[in-house]
């Protein structure tokens, strides 16, 4: 049985939900990384991701300028770094260095891979659309990478207040 409630109350039951790291590189060569919670697979053929990123985010600015980015699935071991890069702005900070993440050269785009991540997807921007208050960037996957450590588990947002953790496998 269902009962009608306010949208905010129902949304509190959305957990666990995905969290990814999105990397970009400025025209000057500076790598940037940001945590993004509004993400989904937008197409299987061709493979595409859709990201919801705030207008003010440095990552959004770089995606618009360079037309490319990397989507990385952080491992459960990366909760501290994911929270760090998701709560600080990259305009004047090297977030890779500040939190100890390793930038690895990508195959086809200039944005770096995250070496510690479970998987990385190199993307080229297809379009940006704005159906509401947040711009949505759609990127086509042009290359994919997986971590050689197959025991790593994905990191998820498991509760309100940016509570992060792994998900137990059934």
Domain for residue 33, yes or no?
yes
Element (DSSP H or E) covering residue 58: helix 58-66
Q: Which of 51, 38, 34, 16 is nearest to 156 (CA)?
A: 16
Domain that holds residue 41: 18-164
Specify whether the CB–CB gap between 88 and 99 falls below 8 A. no
CATH number for the domain spanning 77: value is 2.30.110.10
Give the pLDDT mean for 132-141: 96
Which pLDDT band, with edges at 50, 70 and 90, does 168 fall under?
low
Domain for residue 11, yes or no?
no
Q: How confident is the model over 45-101, as pLDDT tens digits? A: 999 999 999 999 999 999 999 999 999 999 999 999 999 999 888 888 899 999 999
Domain for residue 50, yes or no?
yes
The token duo for 109 is 């785009």
Domain for residue 41, yes or no?
yes
Which pLDDT band, with edges at 50, 70 and 90, does 169 fall under?
low
Q: How confident is the model over 92-132, as pLDDT tens digits? A: 889 999 999 999 999 999 999 999 999 999 999 999 999 99
Query: Higher model confidence: residue 32 or residue 87?
Result: 32
Stated pTM of the model: 0.93
Distance CA 95, CA 81 (A): 9
How many structural domains is the chain composed of? 1
Give the pLDDT mean for 32-42: 95
Per-residue model confidence (pLDDT) at position 170: 44
């Amino acid at each position: 049985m269902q009962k009608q409630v306010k949208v905010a109350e129902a949304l509190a039951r959305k957990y666990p939900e995905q969290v990814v790291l999105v990397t970009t590189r400025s025209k000057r060569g500076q790598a940037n990384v940001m945590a993004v919670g509004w993400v989904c697979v937008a197409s299987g053929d061709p493979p595409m991701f859709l990201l919801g990123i705030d207008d003010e985010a440095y990552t959004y600015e770089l995606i618009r300028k360079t037309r490319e980015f990397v989507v990385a699935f952080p491992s459960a071991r990366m909760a501290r770094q994911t929270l760090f890069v998701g709560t600080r702005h990259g305009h004047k900070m090297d977030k890779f260095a500040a939190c100890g993440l390793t930038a690895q050269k990508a195959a086809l785009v200039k944005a770096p891979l995250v070496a510690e991540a479970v998987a990385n997807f190199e993307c080229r921007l297809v379009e940006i659309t704005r159906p509401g208050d947040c711009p949505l960037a759609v990127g086509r996957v042009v290359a994919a990478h997986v971590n050689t450590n197959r025991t790593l588990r994905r990191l998820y947002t498991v509760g309100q207040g940016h509570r992060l953790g792994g998900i137990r496998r059934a």
